[in-house]
Amino acid sequence: EAGVTQSPTHLIKTRGQQATLRCSPISGHTSVYWYQQALGLGLQFLLWYDEGEERNRGNFPPRFSGRQFPNYSSELNVNALELEDSALYLCATTPSGGANTGELFFGEGSRLTVL
């Protein structure tokens, strides 16, 4: 069974540009979470989508946005990129309803570098 897949693996952008990252969940999973893993900051929660709706968002500015498609895959968009947006962006998925037992299934991440 395929795990959580993320694309692209690496992305290099310059300040002010936009980045789009994609995530495909495990078959049967409907909840998608996005986390930012910046150097020295651990994992910071960005967004949670469940059944196509945004359910919760972390303490990030509005230029971080996303959506979830009918097939439960998800996109994370970062507008007006800043140098400090350079990080590993991790997607995690669970069956519907949130991480009730805590097992988030993570992808390998998309490494965004902003120059």
Partner 1 sequence: GEDVEQSLFLSVREGDSSVINCTYTDSSSTYLYWYKQEPGAGLQLLTYIFSNMDMKQDQRLTVLLNKKDKHLSLRIADTQTGDSAIYFCADDPYGGSQGNLIFGKGTKLSVKP
Interface contacts to partner 1, rule CB under 8 A: 4, 31, 33, 35, 40-43, 45, 48, 50, 55-56, 58, 90, 92, 97-104, 106-109
Structure tokens at 28: 């049967």
Q: How far is the CB of 9 from partner 1 (least distance, A)?
A: 10
CB closer to partner 1 out of 66 and 107:
107
Q: How far is the CB of 79 from partner 1 (least distance, A)?
A: 22
Q: How far is the CB of 21 from partner 1 (least distance, A)?
A: 13
Which 8-state DSSP code applies to residue 25?
P
CB closer to partner 1 out of 33 and 64:
33
CB 110 within 8 A of CB 89: yes
- Tokens 């400090």 locate to 84
Q: How far is the CB of 16 from partner 1 (least distance, A)?
A: 29
Residue type, 29: H
SS3 51: coil
CB 30 within 8 A of CB 96: yes
CB closer to partner 1 out of 46 and 114:
46
Structure tokens at 67: 């959506």
